[in-house]
Structure 1
Amino acid sequence: MGDKKELSKKEIPLFWALLPLIIMIASMIITIIFLEQGPHIPLIIGTTVAALVAWKQGFKWAELEEMMYKGIKLALPAIVIIILVGLIIGSWIGGGVVGTMIYYGLQIITPSFFLVTITLICIVVSLAIGSSWSTMGTIGVAGMGIGLSMGIPAPIIAGAVISGAYFGDKMSPLSDTTNLASGLTNTDLFDHIKHMFFTTIPGILIALIVYGIIGMNYKDSNIDTASIQQTLSVLEESFTISPWLLLIPVAVIVLVALKVPAIPSLVIGILLGTLSQVFIQGDTLAEAIASLQSGYIIETGNEMVDNLFNRGGLDSMMYTVSMTIVAMTFGGILEFSGMLQSIMNQIIKLAKSTGSLIATTILACFTTNATCSEQYISIVVPARMFASTYRKKGLHSKNLSRALEDGGTLTSVFVPWNTCGVFILGTLGVGAMEYAPYAVLNYVVPILSIIYAFIGFTIQKLSEEEIAELDRMDELKELEELQTTTN
């Protein structure tokens, strides 16, 4: 802006700050539950009401536009990943990579241990690449095919995939949310990860036990082996199956493990999948490009195989991309107009003790996930709002960074209109309300985090030396700002 005004400095009365959220949520409930339509229009209604409220509070149209653009800009990295995941699904299905993973998975994995196995595989992959979305879009899609062939319901499979994928998204030093939470709170990255061990390791162990118990209901004797054999036959007829094709996902994992950025690594995976479709599966270049654009198309006569493999491509992700853009226009106005800050200020008043402060932080993260529909904002906004409060209470920043991930990163999957919920629906084909009971890690960890907060377990206090160092850094920062202003 020409006058350099900070957009987020206005004080918005609580009633007016809540009004867009109330109207958006009400319209969301009516649209999704009663009209059985998508979440885009309710978010547009919420954005319109938010813009009108901000205009009433004195913001000009040019400022409102800037708020929306700033919100969308925050989501651009996620949009790029969404597009690449659509391309990689299309190319890996067309190239026979997914078919090969399913083919060998059906022969190696037993139904009673499948849920535990797919969770562990997703853990390893997501730790290596640092991305839950990429893990779900590749290993997760193959896992859905294997599990469905074994007669395991889709919501249960999706829950196991999500738990495994989000473990790595939360604990990998390559994860964007892990780096975001530690960076915003000025916490050493590996101190942040170590502090998350106390909630995340018990959480995943509980999840694995639950999946082990559920898996016992799907023993070999209860499985239609004829159906599995038929699926194997269909895969052999439809694709060239070769263990060499497994080198493609391995190559992507190795690249990211070698600290090649996620985007170029995924692009290489897309290229390898496309080459495989042309030179190994024998499709034409036009068919390979069609798989990238509109997804792979196959008609085998086997309903399960057709439903699983007719997917992917750039077009399939446009619903999620448009959803992300709409959500971020809404979130942008809420954040940069100061509405979200007004709401957070009221939430902070609930934080009287250390336990209530951390519980309130987690609640704020979930609230932001539900209202702004974006995982990144659920970390960014509470980090800004709560940092000084943690400092005043003498709490180490790693407590805040852990709470941000426990409450922000993990709970995003439970909101159907959040970009994470929409992505999972588009990728795994299961809605948030269906898989929610089975995404065990994602709700156990926030609960453990709150329990720890109230009993004081693993809550790290600042030492006198650390407080003195922080005070010194604040003085240096103030001096630098004063010199900059003078110059």
Structure 2
Amino acid sequence: METKELNKGSGWALLPFGVFILLFIGSGILTGDFYKMPVLVAVFAAILVALFMNRKTAFQTKLQQLTEGGGHSNIILMVIIFLLAGAFSTVAEGMGAVDSTVNLGLSILPGNLLIVGLFIIACFISISMGTSVGTIVALAPVGMGIAEQTDVAVALTMGGIVSGAMFGDNLSIISDTTIAAVRTQGTEMKDKFKANFFIVLPAAVVTAIIFGVLTTDAASTLQDDHPFNVVKVLPYLGVLIFAIMGINVIYVLMGGIGFAGLIGLLMGDFSGIEFVTLLGDGFAGMQELALLVILLGGLVELIRQNGGIDFLLRKISRGAQSNRGGEFSIAGLVSAVNVSTANNTISIMTAGPLAKQISERFEIDSKRSASLLDIFSSSVQGLLPYGAQILSVAGVASISPVSIVPFCFYPILLALSGVLAIVFRFPKFTIRN
């Protein structure tokens, strides 16, 4: 991939992002209530700041940049996934799929293994579908059902789903992040997978152990009788099977909606008109999240046009003096861009060309640099309270996104594994020199 010399950029261009963070998270810290400041108000205020910066650019041009950023293909695809996932969740809940699926799990698994099982299922779905968001919105209603019938905290349950979703997002060969990392670094998918897998496996194992330990006493509140209907479990089972087969997430969710709707109609859970109403309710439930993603996309584009992203790239990359320093630069580079863009695919595409330059300068193997890009972007994305992943589960659970972050153990351990891999140069075969 061709690379180009970076512009100096401007630190002031990051001011709108600082405004967003201050309003969204800062107000919550000060008041103790993260719902005091609506997130849409915070992001819109940041957009207004960005629009009135850089007077050299015409206001109409900045509006165009805003709309182009919000209308990026990745953003619109995410919105479509949100809407379909909301419809599937609502229809499945309306025909009793959530209750039956939860009760089946309660009947088969001990209470202290329910969250571990949920984490593992999320790992399989995400690595098969290649999308963390699709995995999260499909499993979140099941997680809510488990939390309601046990004494496991809702935030902990949602953390288990986010953790499993980020595992697959980082490793799946059909994930946007993996494809972007491989393409920008000019390596083979299988080589990147091998280098990545040995780094993240310990994090996944330790995550499962932590969830098991934290839910050791969960069985104490469970009742003995957990009635379920196997037929009503089929929509979720179908989604799982087709996800594992690698079917496109859009087809998976559309098929899930149709299947759940058919079962609900045949079993008399709702009428045709009620089915349509459930679809509308599902779409409506995701409208705020969809609008937020679009506005964040526009904000990121304004910041990029004003030189904020170039400023980050230059500042972080210039301190590298050795092979290990180069690897830390790549990790810091993609992490900082991800914090600013709240999108791990975009962050890899943005930081990737410069990471390639760094890897060539310090003789870092291309599969190693691709792994580092994917590992650190996924770990940061799984911890952002304003990222699509945590926002989506928070929306389903009706809790503060900030309350979920401490329970996202896998993204935390993923970052730690990445740091240890750099410090101890593990695994050895991924380093050229």
Q: Is the structural similarity TM-score above 0.5? A: yes
C-alpha separation between the residues in 2 aligned to 1:427 and 1:173?
28
In structure 1, the gaps of 5 or more residues are 1-7, 295-312, 464-487
Specify whether residues 462 and 338 from structure 1 end up closer, same or farther in structure 2 by C-alpha distance, changes over 3 A only: farther
Q: Which residue of 2 aligns with 1:202?
A: 202
Superposed counterparts of 1:31-430, under 5 Å: 31-34=27-30, 36-53=36-53, 55-56=54-55, 58-72=56-70, 73=72, 74-218=74-218, 220=219, 222-225=220-223, 229=225, 232=226, 241-294=228-281, 313-430=282-399
Partner Cα separation in structure 2 for residue 109 and residue 180 of structure 1? 38
Structure 2 distance, partners of 1:204, 1:391, is 31
Cα distance, 1:127–1:135 mapped onto 2, change above 3 Å: same
Residue identity opposite 1:213 in structure 2: V
Among 414, 422, 428, the residue aligned to 1:453: 422
Tell me the distance in 1 between the aligned counterparts of 2:251 and 2:403. Answer: 34
Match for residue 408 of structure 2? 439
Aligned with 2:215: secondary structure? helix
Contact map agreement 2:166 2:382 (CA 8 A) in 1: no
- Secondary structure of 1:190's partner? helix
RMSD: 2.5
Aligned residues of 2:9 and 2:307 also touching (Cα < 8 A): no
Residues in 2 aligned to 1:273 and 1:340: alpha-carbon distance in whole angstroms? 44
Looking at structure 1, the residues matched to 340 and 184 of structure 2 have their Cα atoms a distance apart, in angstroms, of: 21
Which letter maps to 1:16? W
**Shift in Å at residue 446 of structure 1?**
0.9
Using a 3 Å threshold, how does the CA distance of structure 1 residues 51 and 183 change in structure 2: closer, same or farther? same
Deviations 1:69-110 (A, max 9, x none): 332214112111111111110111122222220121121121
**Amino acid in the other structure paired with 1:292:** L
Within 5 Å, give how 1:448-487 maps onto structure 2: 448-458=417-427, 460-462=430-432
Could you say if the C-alpha distance between residues 165 and 12 of structure 1 is closer, same or farther in structure 2, counting changes exceeding 3 Å? same
Q: What are the Cα deviations for residues 241-267 of structure 1, in whole angstroms up to 9, with x where unaligned?
A: 521333323333333444432212211
Aligned length: 423
Q: Which has the higher contact order (CA 8 A, sep 6+)?
A: 2
User: How far off is 1:442 after superposition?
Assistant: 0.6
Query: Do the aligned partners of residues 267 and 13 (structure 1) sit closer, same or farther apart at CA in structure 2, a change above 3 Å counting?
Result: closer
Q: CA deviation at 1:292?
A: 1.1
Rounded to whole Å, the distance in 2 between the matches of 1:22 and 1:283 is 47
* Distance of 1:120 and 1:328 partners within structure 2: 31
Separation in 2, partners of 1:10, 1:67: 20
Distance change in 2, residues 1:11/1:164 (3 Å): closer
TM-score with structure 2 length normalisation? 0.89
Change (3 A) 1:15 1:269: closer
Contact 1:358–1:450 (Cα < 8 Å) also in 2: no
* Higher Cα radius of gyration: 1
Amino acid at match of 2:287: M
Q: What does the per-residue CA deviation read over 1:210-257, in whole Å, with 9 as the maximum and x for residues that have no partner?
A: 122212233x3x3253xx74xx4xxx6xxxx52133332333333344
Equivalent residue for 2:19, pick from 23, 43, 64: 23
Q: Is the 8 A contact 1:424 1:431 kept in 2?
A: no
